[in-house]
């Protein structure tokens, strides 16, 4: 009897994992960046070649379209709009976002909070002073 109860309990947990719903990401998400950058670039002009800077900027992501695990929208930082596409992984809590500037990995903290990490080796290949950027920050939807 004890084994049967344990088996049923385990199956219940397994079935609840299969029943997990794809989160709805549509909406506006706001936060503040936590950037480490070298040099300058389109978003962060004014740096000297090789200069390491630590910057914080308000950022907003607007997800305007979602089909299953894929989504798209635009991020706005310092008046620049950056189109993105993204996809949730099979666990439905983590995924990736891609732009022409770089890639972002993310993890859903809760239904209205996402933790993201953006990396790129250069923001502007035409600008030899543009260096890499690393940024991890959180965004929230109200």
Separation CA 44–CA 57 (nearest Å)? 10
User: Hey, where are the domains in the chain?
Assistant: 22-141
Q: Tens digits of per-residue pLDDT, 27-52?
A: 999 999 999 999 887 777 888 888 99
- Write the CATH number of the domain with boundaries 22-141: 2.40.128.120
Contacts of 95 (CB under 8 A, 6+ apart): 69, 86, 87, 88, 89, 105, 106
β-strand 80-88 against 70-77: which pairing, if any? antiparallel
- pLDDT tens, 92-140? 999 999 998 889 999 999 999 999 999 988 766 677 777 889 999 999 9
- Rounded to an integer, what distance in angstroms lies between the CA atom of residue 118 and that of residue 116? 7
User: Looking at the DSSP assignment, which residues form a beta bridge with residue 134?
Assistant: 36, 119
| pTM of the model as a whole | 0.81
């Amino acid at each position: 009897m004890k084994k049967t109860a344990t088996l049923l309990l385990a199956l219940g947990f397994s079935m609840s994992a299969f029943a997990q719903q794809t989160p709805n990401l549509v909406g506006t998400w706001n936060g503040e960046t936590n950037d480490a950058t070298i040099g300058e670039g389109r978003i962060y002009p004014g740096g000297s070649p090789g200069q390491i800077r630590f910057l914080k900027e308000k950022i907003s992501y607007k997800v305007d379209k979602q089909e299953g695990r894929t989504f798209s929208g635009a991020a706005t930082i310092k008046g620049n709009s950056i189109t993105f596409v993204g996809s949730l992984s099979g666990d439905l809590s983590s995924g990736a976002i891609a732009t022409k500037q770089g890639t972002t990995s993310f993890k859903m903290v809760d239904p209205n909070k996402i933790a993201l990490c953006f990396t790129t080796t250069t923001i502007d290949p035409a600008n030899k002073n543009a260096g890499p950027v690393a940024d991890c920050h959180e965004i929230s939807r109200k």
